A and B are shown apart, each in its own frame.
Chain A
Amino acid sequence: MEQILVNGTILAANYALIALGITLIFSIMNVLNFAHGQMFMLGGLIVYYVCVVLHLPYALALIAAVVIVGLIGMLFEDVFFQRVMRISNREENTMLLAVGTSLLLENAALSLFGEKQRAIPPIVSGVYRIGNAFLPASRALVLVLSLVLIAAVLVFVNYTKTGRAMRALAQDRTATLLMGVDAKRISTLGFGLGAALAGVAGGLLISISGVNAGIGTAISTKAFIMIMIGGAGVISGSLLGAVVLGFAEAIGYALIPGSVTYLLIFVALIVFLLFRPQGIMGKPAA
């Protein structure tokens, strides 16, 4: 039982960083970023390049991942998404654009980093015992870093002027514009922050299990499950979605034999959405 709790906590913390990023982008831009998983992958591969190829410290690699993926997010938002949203009223156009950017990133990564799984040497070694459960030091470090980052993002969003502007834009775009907020700048920053969160999550995960150029779609799928559970566009909802998915996975793999875990998760999600399509913390459509 202790092992299930440890596994669930680690998974939930990792997933929360991913969910937080995709939620920020969705809430501010109303764009479902299908390339979120690819941004995660890119963050991991940047950390790999900086640590393994350039032999620079992990902390520097993590910063590089945040900055580069964040800038790519801002560039995508400024060059692609702003334009498409300006000239088109159809929501599916931004979705198709997001799919296109995900394919672009995946194929670019395949060309630049190759097809192999990439990982970096463990940052810390050793294993802690918590009751009957094992907690490898490397995972404990990732858990702590994830929690610190989540807290930092929450502080930023709730207590800084830019963060409050992002929340305001997510809640009521028209009112925010009337208040004189530079919506274009806030959108670009929000997209960049969301992308940077995906990048840092990938940079953390590569230290424990590695990433490859094809991992993006699986990450995006999990991110969508989390925001569907918690409520699209609601930050606290995305964190709740991460906890639900992390523990559902940990409990499922431990107690349900065979390959039923994800089948049950998907069935439960469908049933849940039938009764609460807006997610646990989302607002019903007007």
Chain B
Amino acid sequence: MVNASRRSVLKGAGALALATTLSTPSIVRAQEKALRIGQLGVMSGPEASWGLVNKYSALATAEMWNDKGGYEIGGTKYKIEIVSVDDRNDPKLTVSGAERLTGSENIRYFIGPNTDTTATSVRPIAEKNNAIYFPYAFARSLYTKPAENAILGMIASYQVAPIMYQQLKEQRGVKTIGFVARNDSDGLLQRDEGVKVAQTLGLEIVSSSDTYEPTITDFFPVMSNLVSLAPDLIVLSSAAPAHAPQMMRVARELGFQGLFACEAAQDIKIINEVAGEYGDGLISIGGASTPEIRSPYMEEFIARYTKVAGEWNDEAGTKAYALEILLATLAAAGPEAIDDIAPFKAAIDGFSMKNPFLKEESQLTYVGTGDFGQKRQIGVPMVITETKGGAFTTFAISSVAS
């Protein structure tokens, strides 16, 4: 009896141990299942803020979900891991970074790169290694068939320019316009697209030949020419957040009285610090971060971003969207999409979720059919802002046609 009992106890203990052995790893595996997302972009040098904002936004979103136990896909919660690679805005490094992410790291989804040149260089690798990427670059060829692996993460300059210039013409009486562009593929593309829009709207173009090198340290000589022509509006094509306030300050010091426009996102803290009293009158694209429209979730994101990065950056209002919609699309496509982008691609057309960053009830979808012939763009709301009294104020709200 005793022996039997002992045997029973031993059997029971053994069974328990076996059960523990068998079940514990599966619980641990379920708890520790990781979803690795890449982030590739410029995170050093003059354009560092573009890629770093992507990185911090992704890290903030990942932390928010991880604190809740992970992101649920197909009934399993995944901890989000962000793998970041700095390409220093050098296509050679972008290519090697993409090879690493999609090859040795076996990552199927990554955010970035940040410029036309680097994003274009990534395309063959993403297609060869079956990866989806979310560039912040405007070259149409990236999003138009036969290309189908890139999803534009923001609003392109050629989408915002018609609305922005039209509003400025009607509301502010803008009749003459001058362009100053960053001398790289993004800047020149944005300028050329802007010139076409201005011509279509019947605006008089006083100058479109002024450019500056990305490594410029003083805008005084560059802006002197354009200001002397006294346009109603100066368009700062593809101006980096570091450069736009410098150009504004110099133009105002040279006596410019008109408005500025920029189809790239800017940062109010930099504008206040660099342009100071000359910081008013910039019309630019913003994210879903203006206080009037943001939801409590966006407030939570801003707080988390500030914790991760040390300070808030208005550019992150746009860049908050990429990881959020990527995760939601994976959830919609099912767990098989984690390792295979085909179900993800199939889910894009019908995908819709409540926009978590806006307090108004609205849907977040993929758009882009009008511009690219297929849905290869995140439907980020088009919030056009104006700098007034050291803050961004909402100038106009619109959206990209689906």
Q: Are A115 and B213 in contact (CB under 8 A)?
A: no
Find chain A residues with CB under 8 A from B224 CB. 3-4, 7, 253-254
Find chain A residues with CB under 8 A from B212 CB. 259
A205 at interface by CB-CB < 8 Å: yes
Q: Are B253 and A212 in contact (CB under 8 A)?
A: no
Q: Are A209 and B217 in contact (CB under 8 A)?
A: yes
Q: Are A219 and B209 in contact (CB under 8 A)?
A: no
Find chain B residues with CB under 8 A from A267 CB. none
Q: Are B270 and A222 in contact (CB under 8 A)?
A: no
- In the complex, what residue of chain B is closest to A135 when comparing beta carbons? B253
B285-312 interface bits toward A, Cβ cutoff 8 Å, 1 = contact, 0 = none: 0000000000000000000000001110
B267 at interface by CB-CB < 8 Å: yes
Find chain A residues with CB under 8 A from B215 CB. 217-218, 221
Most buried by B among A110, A115, A219, A252: A115
B202-244 interface bits toward A, Cβ cutoff 8 Å, 1 = contact, 0 = none: 0000000111110111111110110010000000000001110
B245 at interface by CB-CB < 8 Å: yes
A210 at interface by CB-CB < 8 Å: yes
Q: Are B220 and A139 in contact (CB under 8 A)?
A: yes
Q: Are A11 and B255 in contact (CB under 8 A)?
A: no
Find chain A residues with CB under 8 A from B276 CB. 119, 121-122
**Selected contact of A210 from candidates B210, B213, B246, CB within 8 Å:** B246
Size class of the contact patch on chain B: 35 or more
Chain A stretch 242-267: residues in CB contact (< 8 A) with chain B: 249-250, 252-254, 257-259, 262
CB distance from A241 to the nearest CB of B (A): 16
Q: Are A117 and B242 in contact (CB under 8 A)?
A: yes
Q: Are B218 and A209 in contact (CB under 8 A)?
A: yes
- In the complex, what residue of chain A is closest to B55 when comparing beta carbons? A115
Q: Are A114 and B309 in contact (CB under 8 A)?
A: yes
Q: Are B273 and A250 in contact (CB under 8 A)?
A: no
Q: Are A52 and B273 in contact (CB under 8 A)?
A: yes
A32 to B209, CA, bound (A): 36
Most buried by B among A219, A250, A252, A258: A258
Find chain B residues with CB under 8 A from A221 CB. 215
Chain A stretch 119-155: residues in CB contact (< 8 A) with chain B: 119-122, 125, 127, 134, 136, 138-139
A163 at interface by CB-CB < 8 Å: no
**Selected contact of B218 from candidates A11, A118, A119, CB within 8 Å:** A11
Q: Are A210 and B274 in contact (CB under 8 A)?
A: yes
**Selected contact of B246 from candidates A14, A209, A217, A222, CB within 8 Å:** A209
Q: Are A10 and B311 in contact (CB under 8 A)?
A: no
Q: Are A119 and B47 in contact (CB under 8 A)?
A: no
A213 at interface by CB-CB < 8 Å: yes
**Selected contact of B273 from candidates A120, A136, A208, CB within 8 Å:** A120
**Selected contact of A249 from candidates B52, B183, B221, CB within 8 Å:** B221
B44 at interface by CB-CB < 8 Å: yes
**Selected contact of A215 from candidates B46, B210, B267, B274, CB within 8 Å:** B46
A184 at interface by CB-CB < 8 Å: no
Q: Are A110 and B48 in contact (CB under 8 A)?
A: yes
Find chain B residues with CB under 8 A from A120 CB. 273
A277 at interface by CB-CB < 8 Å: no
A17 to B204, CA, bound (A): 42
B254 at interface by CB-CB < 8 Å: yes
- In the complex, what residue of chain B is closest to A18 when comparing beta carbons? B217
A164 at interface by CB-CB < 8 Å: no
Q: Are B221 and A116 in contact (CB under 8 A)?
A: no
B75 at interface by CB-CB < 8 Å: no
CB distance from B341 to the nearest CB of A (A): 31
Find chain A residues with CB under 8 A from B355 CB. none
Find chain A residues with CB under 8 A from B52 CB. 115
A161 to B360, CA, bound (A): 74
Q: Are A218 and B217 in contact (CB under 8 A)?
A: yes
A77 at interface by CB-CB < 8 Å: no
Q: Are A116 and B217 in contact (CB under 8 A)?
A: no
Q: Are B217 and A222 in contact (CB under 8 A)?
A: yes
- In the complex, what residue of chain A is closest to B225 when comparing beta carbons? A254
B24-64 interface bits toward A, Cβ cutoff 8 Å, 1 = contact, 0 = none: 00000000000000000001111111001000000000000
6 closest residue pairs by CB, A with B: A218-B215, A117-B242, A253-B221, A214-B45, A259-B183, A119-B274
Q: Give A residues with C-beta under 8 Å from B.
A: 3-4, 7, 10-11, 14, 52, 106-107, 110, 114-122, 125, 127, 134, 136, 138-139, 205, 208-210, 212-215, 217-219, 221-222, 249-250, 252-254, 257-259, 262
